[in-house]
Structure formats: structure tokens, C-alpha cells
Amino acid sequence: MHVDSAPDSRFVAAIRNLGVFIGDQDVALTWKVMGPVPWLGSDDLAGGYTHPSGARVNVLAGGTNSPVTLTPSNEHNGAAQPVRIESLEIRPMDH
């Protein structure tokens, strides 16, 4: 996670359920993070995320301490990206 004027935070995500994947190469995923507060700490971002039932957009909702939504960024350098990730678990790399 990158916040202006602060050191980057790195996270590990385990994809639990993947819809369709186009391509067969390693891909670094970039997500847009939206939360109820202007600043999220690593504990706020950590947790389980799922694709809401009936959602027509590619979004994941979850988190541990507060509701957070993740949407895939369109900035993926031309690499293939998953069409839809159904669920994943995020944790800070240093744990």
C-alpha cells in the first residue's frame, strides 16, 4: 500500500476462489482501496474479502476492523488479469 509521504506497506494475498483467468503468466494485481476513513492502517486492510452476491461490478468487500472495498485497477501493464476474483485473504507481509 502506498500513501504519500509514508513508507510503503506490503501485503500477501491468498486467492481463495477465482472466476476465469485469461493468460498463463504471473501477474501482480493492483487494487483501488476505498474505506470509511481517510487513512487505513495495515490492520484495517487485513482480513477476508468476498465478491458480494449479485454485484455486477468486479469488486471485493471485507476487511477486519472496518468495511473496505477493493476494485481492480486498470493499470496492469498489458498483462492478463483475472476476470473476477470471488474471494481472497490479505495479511501484512511482516506477520
Is 29 in contact with 75 (CB distance < 8 Å)?
A: no
Residue 53, pLDDT score = 82
Q: Give the span between the Cα atoms of 64 and 20, in whole angstroms.
A: 27
Residue 73, pLDDT score = 76
Domain boundary assignment for the chain: 11-92
**Digit-coded pLDDT (tens) for 42-95:** 677 888 998 888 877 788 889 877 788 888 876 555 555 556 788 888 888 775
The model carries a pTM of: 0.68
Radius of gyration of the chain (CA): 13
* Angstrom distances, CA of residue 2 to CA of 11, 12, 51, 65: 11, 15, 24, 20
